[in-house]
Amino acid sequence: MYPSPRPHSTTLSTQTAGLYLPVGTIGQVDHGKSTLVRAITGTKTMRHETEMARNITIKFGYAAAKIYNCKQSMEGRKCQGEGYDGSYEPVRKISIVDSPVREILMRAMLMGTSVMDAALLIISAEEECPQPQTWEHLTTIETLRLTSVVMVQSKLDRMAADTARKYVEQVRAFLKGTSGEDAPIVPVSTQFGISIDVVHDMLVSIPLPVRDITSSARMRIVCSFDSSIAGGTLLEGVIRIDDDIEIRPGLISHDRASAMPGGLIGVRMLVAPELCRGDQFIGQVLGLRGTLPPIFSVISVQFEILRRTTNRGEHRETERIRTGEVKCHEMELVLNSSVYADLGEKVTLSKLDKRWRLAGWGVVVERLEAEMRDC
């Protein structure tokens, strides 16, 4: 919907994997993403002192929740009346990453899309649509072929009904020609809890992706902390306590805890805390020692340049690449730092006019292996 691994004694199947649905929040700054996450999960994702002082998301925030279904049929608000003694059944587990989206943090948001299987696109009812980051983030998820997206119109309680309806029409025009053209738009008020249950229903209806738990473990790191913890999501495989792992392009050994694909996790490692401080492991891949493929210092990318990019709320044409500068929309990149990249993996071209903007995207088609050195 739109709107060398060692043998283990436990037998696992694809039905037991992926119980958590990783969901990301995207949209213009100050449109209520963190507030919506708190309304859905009960968790406040802005925890750092600087974030609370400025009331913006600066680092990735995380929240997990279970969504329950009431077994009895009820009219109106679901199972929220006083004295209700009915029974519930869990129908979905979700793990939400709350992405920072200020311009200086665009790079972090783009990295966050690699750990999302679904997204909440939040558009405020207070402002015309599209805002610059709204357009940019929709383009990002379209580029990455992320089709499980729930459209949410936030701050409904601050607008008159006719104004809110006018802005819905703007949203419809904005979505025309995208995979969200026919998607439902959920108007919500997080302050009064209006339609939060509808958002829950939308998240429950998104099918869980198929998980590969038979391959070697690979985890995409999106943050790291000075308490020797790496945070991210397992792309495939299973990790257990006492597994010996490595990180690439860096190479580090440590002990670990048990997890399967689906949802966001934190892995405590036996490494010096200063190695994890300040998100130094962002963008790296973690897996069992000896199972990760090589890293690469040169990659060839087949790319497309987006014809429009945002600038002070307006769209403008990007400068065309001139004849002879590229061959068949393919370029070779000699990297300052080696990277881990699979053939066919998508990359984003993100820096434009000395700022982090989505300028284009590409697919890795060729790689040159880099020399590895033990730390």
Beta strands in the chain (DSSP E): 20-26, 61-70, 88-98, 118-124, 149-154, 185-187, 218-225, 229-236, 245-248, 264-268, 285-288, 296-305, 308-311, 314-317, 330-339, 346-352, 355-369
> Does 311 or 234 have the greater pLDDT score?
234
Residue 5 pLDDT: 29
| Number of residues that make up the chain | 375
Which of 2-16, 50-64, 212-226, 263-277 has the least mean pLDDT?
Answer: 2-16
DSSP three-state, residue 138? helix
For β-strands 20-26 and 88-98, DSSP reports them as parallel
Give the pLDDT mean for 38-58.
Answer: 70
**For all residues of the chain together, what is the average pLDDT?**
72
Rounded Cα distance, 374 and 335, in Å:
20
Residue 203, pLDDT score: 92
Q: Give the strands of the sheet with 229-236, arranged side by side.
A: 245-248, 285-288, 218-225, 229-236, 264-268
What number does CATH give the domain 296-369? 2.40.30.10
Share of the chain above pLDDT 70, in %: 64
The one-character DSSP state at 5 is P
27: helix, coil or strand?
coil
DSSP-assigned letter for residue 221: E
DSSP state of 325: S
- C-alpha 142/C-alpha 121 separation (Å) is 12
For 230-290, the DSSP string reads EEEEEEES-B-TT--EEEESS--------B-SSSEEEEE-SS-HHHHGGGTTTT-EEEETT
Helix (H, G, I), strand (E, B) or coil at 139: helix
CATH number of 20-68+88-205: 3.40.50.300
Q: Which amino acid is at 24?
A: G
CA separation for the pair 123, 167 (Å, rounded):
10
237: number of Cβ within 10 Å: 23
Q: Which region holds residue 41: left if phi is over 0, alpha if psi is between -120 and 50, else beta? A: alpha
Judge whether 175 and 167 are in contact, CB under 8 Å: no
Q: Which range (9-18, 29-38, 313-322, 366-375) has the least confidence?
A: 9-18
* Least reliable range by pLDDT among 39-48, 255-264, 339-348: 255-264
**Tokens 């370029």 -> residue:** 331
pLDDT of residue 6: 30
Can you tell me the distance from the alpha carbon of 248 to that of 252, in angstroms, rounded to the nearest whole number?
8
pLDDT of residue 375 exceeding 60, the answer is no
Does the structural domain 218-288 have CATH classification 2.40.30.10?
Answer: yes
- Report residue 202: phi and psi, to 5°: -60, -45
Model confidence pLDDT, tens digit, residues 141-173: 777 777 788 889 988 888 787 887 888 888 888
Give the Cβ contact number of residue 365 at 10 Å: 13
Is it the case that residue 313 has pLDDT exceeding 60? Answer: no
pLDDT of residue 199: 92
Asked if the domains 218-288 and 296-369 are classified in one and the same CATH topology, the answer is yes
pLDDT at residue 278, as a whole number: 64
Alpha carbon of 36 to those of 39, 69, 281: distances in Å?
Answer: 5, 20, 28
| pLDDT confidence tier of residue 69, bands split at 50, 70 and 90 | confident
Where is pLDDT greater, at 227 or 199? Answer: 199
Residue 269 confidence (pLDDT) = 73
Please give the DSSP secondary-structure letter assigned to residue 186. Answer: E
- Is the pLDDT reported for residue 327 higher than 80? no
| Mean pLDDT calculated for residue range 38-49 | 77
In tens, the pLDDT along 203-248 reads 999 888 887 888 888 887 777 766 677 777 787 888 888 888 887 7
More confident residue, 178 or 260: 178
Average pLDDT on 326-331 reads: 70
Q: Please report the pLDDT score of residue 89 as a whole number.
A: 81
Extents of the domains making up the chain: 20-68+88-205, 218-288, 296-369
Highest mean pLDDT among 72-81, 192-201, 245-254: 192-201
pLDDT at 114: 61
Lowest mean pLDDT among 34-38, 62-66, 110-114, 125-129: 110-114
Q: Tell me, yes or no, if the pTM score tops 0.85.
A: no
